[in-house]
């Protein structure tokens, strides 16, 4: 623990701690504003739509590639119902 010999030393340290506290508070505010901006950009309607459309296109592309590689054809409902009666 620091020992103070004069009131000026105490006042200097108190001023330093107040300034440090204000700087820390401003850093928290900046971080909060940056987080808000990031969230608003991430969840903007355009980004949500683009992400959804991109995911759908990606899945469709993968299914098409897998279909071409493996050669699996989708089963039609009519063909499936005809097979049940046999």
Is residue 66 situated within a structural domain? Answer: no
Is residue 82 situated within a structural domain? Answer: no
Is residue 16 situated within a structural domain? Answer: yes
**7, 21, 22, 24 from 10: Cα distances, Å:** 5, 16, 18, 21
**Domain around 34:** 1-43
Is residue 81 situated within a structural domain? Answer: no
Cα gap 66→62, rounded to integer Å: 6
User: What total of structural domains would you count in the chain?
Assistant: 1
pTM (predicted TM-score): 0.50
Is residue 85 situated within a structural domain? Answer: no
Is residue 3 situated within a structural domain? Answer: yes
- Percent residues over pLDDT 70 in the chain: 83
Q: What is the pLDDT of residues 44-73, one digit of tens each?
A: 888 889 889 999 999 989 888 888 878 766
Is residue 57 situated within a structural domain? Answer: no
Is residue 29 situated within a structural domain? Answer: yes
């Amino acid at each position: 623990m620091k020992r103070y010999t004069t009131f000026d030393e105490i006042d200097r340290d108190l001023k330093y701690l107040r300034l440090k506290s204000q700087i820390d508070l401003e850093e928290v505010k900046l971080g909060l504003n940056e987080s808000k901006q990031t969230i608003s950009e991430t969840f903007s309607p355009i980004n949500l739509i683009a992400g959804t459309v991109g995911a759908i296109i990606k899945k469709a592309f993968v299914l098409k590639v897998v279909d071409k590689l493996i050669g699996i054809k989708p089963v039609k409902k009519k063909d499936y119902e005809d097979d049940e009666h046999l």
